[in-house]
């Protein structure tokens, strides 16, 4: 009996936490079905209709900056994930498979750079990029968003559990080291690759500081910068703004729901 | 035999290390050099330790430091405790499907864009926002308050937002660690007559300790990165009550006439503090493991 009570209390706590976690997004989504005037008043439930949603949506999509921002965000996130996960997995693999004292030192070096906060290097990065004429470029955002130290740690931790017999067997079968990485290691470590991609995708997609500092022209802005600028201006349309907020979370929500099975497997060895 | 792999050893690790050196280490060194120069905009001149002397006289630095430390001292344990309790609750759920469902939902805030939720919470606490409308329901005479315009209110708002945004992520990390414990260990403990609380203290906690440590390093790092939330919700105000070192750097360089040299000295300060915290935490961890 006592056990049953505990179980129910357990569920109540979790459901309450789940409600807290989703309420902001639910309210934002609910308010997209209302008119700008009502949203501004804080009255988001009366007068809700699908027609309002369509109106808000078309107002947002009529703004060419929004289309630009969405496209740039997608490009930056995909390229960052591709480069970051490839480089970090190669390094994480090398740190374990070719492990020796020197490699451990290199790993420690990379691990300690986790502790360098981005706010501590933003000014010199800005000035370096300015010096090399790389400001206002999407590729510069990619280069500074890779967050390799963390990903290398993730891959190294997981590679420790990778059976070395597989690699030895593949060597005897005559595969070269690069082929072993692609044909043996990558397929067997799918969960970790998905986890790493997801973390990097989310971080890059949501990042405000780097694009805010690096990007200077309207055509190169990313979604968080766009949302920040229309959200801070007093004249912006609340309905369109709510749709923008909703859309900014939607792609990651989609990716996450699809990949969450792998994601939980990949987090296990952190 | 071993030498044969040398070329792969370096080829595989080279790309990452090159980027870390170029985009993390080099900027850090450059920061050090910049911090010895002062002046406005691009007219920088060598000025020795002037910037560091200025750090001590700057009241905003003191504010930013107390705020950041205050946020760390409050947020780190709160987020860890909440995450630990939630992870423990979810871990007790029997059905695997429900477990998965709950953890996905709880993880949701950490995938939401900080810009998006910051604007949401700004509306929540505003004078005509949800929170005031809600109080009006119960007490029609209540005066609406803009919580973000009082120093203490703005601080509490930032704390609430961070707890909301971060707890799910750490719940997930801790839950994964808890699940990596072999169920047989628990069975054995139960046979030995340990109750729930004892199992938690003697088995679960020691096993997940490294992960808790890793989480606390990540968390205190996260607090130093606190930027989007501050920028959108309070811009460091009112009366610098929510300013953080990171946001102060941004203000110095990109809001007013840029003072890159002085900002660089703050950057070095941030690095020293967060480095020290990380180092202490790692050391403590080594000792207790």
Which chain B residues contact residue A21 at CB under 8 A? 105-106, 108-109, 164, 168
Domain that holds residue A218: 63-232
- Which residues have a Cβ under 8 Å from the Cβ of A110 and sit 6 or more positions away? A91, A148, A149, A152, A153, B16, B17, B20
For residue A103, the domain's CATH number is 1.10.3720.10
Decide if A69 is inside a domain: yes
Decide if A8 is inside a domain: no
Q: Of B27, B90, B164, which has the smallest distance from its Cβ to A128's Cβ?
A: B27
Distance from CA of B152 to the nearest CA of A (A): 23
The residue to which tokens 């920028």 are assigned:
B231
Give the integer Cα–Cα distance in Å for A126 and B279: 28
C-alpha closest to that of B258 among A127, A221, A211: A127
Establish, for the pair of chains A and B, how many residue pairs have beta carbons separated by less than 8 Å.
250
Are A163 and A97 spatial neighbours (Cβ–Cβ below 8 Å)? no
Q: How many degrees, rounded to 5, is the angle at CA A129 between CA A127 and CA A132?
A: 110
Q: How many degrees, rounded to 5, is the angle at CA A195 between CA A191 and CA A200?
A: 150
Interface test with chain B among A70, A101, A117, by most B beta carbons within 10 Å: A117
Decide if A136 is inside a domain: yes
Whether residues B13 and A113 touch (CB distance < 8 A) is answered with no
**pLDDT tens across B126-151, in order?**
777 777 777 777 877 777 777 788 88
**Mean pLDDT to the nearest integer, B237-244:** 84
Decide if A262 is inside a domain: no
pLDDT at A76: 95
For chain A, residues with pLDDT lower than 70 are 1, 42-43, 264-270
Report the Cα A166 to chain-centroid distance in Å: 32
DSSP annotation string for B39-70:
-STT--EE-TTHHHHHHHH-HHHHHHHHHHHH
Domains observed in chain B = 49-288 (1.10.3720.10)
The torsion angles phi and psi of A24, rounded to 5 degrees, stand at: -55, -45
Split at pLDDT 50, 70, 90, the class of B1 is very low
pLDDT at B2: 55
Residue-averaged pLDDT of chain B? 84
pLDDT at B82: 94
Decide if A249 is inside a domain: no
Whether residues A17 and B86 touch (CB distance < 8 A) is answered with yes
Give the integer Cα–Cα distance in Å for A75 and A85: 16
Overall domain count for chain A: 1
Decide if A86 is inside a domain: yes
Q: Which helix (H) or strand (E) holds B174?
A: helix B151-179
- Long-range contacts made by residues B254-260, C-beta under 8 angstroms, separation at least 24? B254/A212, B254/A213, B257/B40, B257/B41, B258/B40, B258/B41, B259/B38, B259/B39, B259/B40, B260/A123, B260/A127, B260/B34, B260/B37, B260/B44
Decide if A122 is inside a domain: yes
Task: State how far the alpha carbon of B261 is from the alpha carbons of A91, A126, A266, in Å.
Answer: 35, 13, 42
Whether residues A123 and B267 touch (CB distance < 8 A) is answered with yes
pLDDT at B179: 81
Shortest CA distance from A261: residue in chain B: B100
The residue to which tokens 């202490």 are assigned:
B280
How much is the ipTM here? 0.83
Please say if the pLDDT value at position B209 is more than 50.
Answer: yes
Decide if A57 is inside a domain: no
Give the integer Cα–Cα distance in Å for B245 and B263: 9
């Amino acid at each position: 009996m006592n056990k049953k009570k505990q179980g129910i209390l357990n569920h109540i706590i979790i459901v309450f936490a789940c409600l807290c976690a989703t309420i902001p997004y639910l309210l934002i989504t609910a308010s997209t079905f209302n008119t700008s005037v009502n949203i501004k008043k804080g009255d988001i439930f009366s007068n809700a209709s699908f027609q309002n949603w369509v109106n808000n949506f078309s107002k947002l999509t009529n703004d060419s900056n929004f289309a630009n921002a969405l496209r740039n965000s997608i490009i930056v996130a995909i390229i960052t994930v591709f480069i970051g996960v490839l480089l970090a997995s190669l390094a994480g693999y090398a740190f374990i498979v070719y492990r020796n004292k020197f490699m451990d030192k290199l790993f420690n070096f990379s691990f300690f750079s986790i502790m360098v906060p981005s706010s501590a290097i933003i000014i010199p990065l800005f000035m370096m990029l300015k010096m090399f004429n790389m400001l206002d470029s999407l590729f510069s955002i990619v280069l500074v968003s890779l967050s390799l130290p963390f990903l290398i740690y993730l891959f190294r931790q997981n590679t420790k559990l990778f059976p070395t017999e597989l690699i030895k067997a593949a060597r005897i079968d005559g595969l070269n080291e690069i082929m072993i990485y692609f044909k043996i290691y990558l397929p067997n470590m799918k969960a970790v690759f998905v986890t790493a991609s997801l973390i990097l995708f989310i971080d890059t997609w949501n990042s405000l500081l780097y694009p805010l500092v690096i990007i200077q022209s309207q055509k190169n802005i990313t979604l968080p910068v766009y949302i920040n600028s229309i959200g801070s201006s007093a004249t912006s349309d609340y309905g369109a703004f709510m749709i923008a907020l909703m859309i900014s979370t939607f792609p990651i929500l989609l990716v996450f729901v699809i990949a969450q099975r792998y994601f939980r497997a990949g987090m296990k060895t952190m | 035999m071993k030498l044969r792999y040398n070329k792969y050893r370096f080829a595989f690790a080279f790309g990452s290390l090159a980027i870390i050196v170029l985009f993390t280490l080099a900027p850090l060194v450059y920061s050090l050099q910049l911090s010895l120069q002062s002046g406005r905009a691009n007219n920088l001149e060598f000025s020795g330790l002037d910037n560091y002397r200025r750090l001590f006289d700057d009241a905003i630095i003191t504010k930013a430091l107390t705020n950041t430390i205050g946020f760390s001292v409050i947020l780190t344990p709160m987020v860890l405790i909440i995450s630990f309790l939630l992870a423990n609750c979810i871990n007790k759920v029997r059905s695997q499907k429900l477990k998965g469902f709950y953890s996905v939902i709880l993880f949701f805030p950490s995938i939401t864009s900080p810009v998006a939720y910051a604007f949401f919470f700004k509306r929540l606490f505003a004078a005509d926002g949800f929170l005031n409308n809600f109080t009006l329901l119960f007490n029609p005479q209540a005066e609406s308050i803009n919580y973000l315009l009082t120093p203490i209110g703005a601080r509490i708002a930032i704390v609430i937002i961070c707890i909301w945004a971060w707890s799910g992520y750490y719940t997930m990390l801790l839950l994964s660690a808890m699940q990596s414990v072999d169920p047989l260990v628990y069975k054995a403990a139960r046979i030995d007559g340990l109750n729930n609380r004892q199992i938690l203290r003697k088995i679960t906690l020691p096993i997940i300790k490294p992960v808790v440590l890793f989480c606390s390093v990540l968390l205190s790092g996260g607090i130093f990165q606190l930027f989007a939330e501050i920028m959108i919700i309070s811009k460091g105000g009112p009366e610098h009550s929510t300013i953080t070192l990171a946001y102060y750097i941004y203000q110095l360089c990109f809001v007013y006439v840029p003072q890159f040299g002085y900002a660089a000295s703050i950057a070095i300060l941030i690095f020293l503090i967060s480095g020290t915290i990380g180092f202490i935490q790692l050391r403590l961890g080594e000792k207790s493991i």
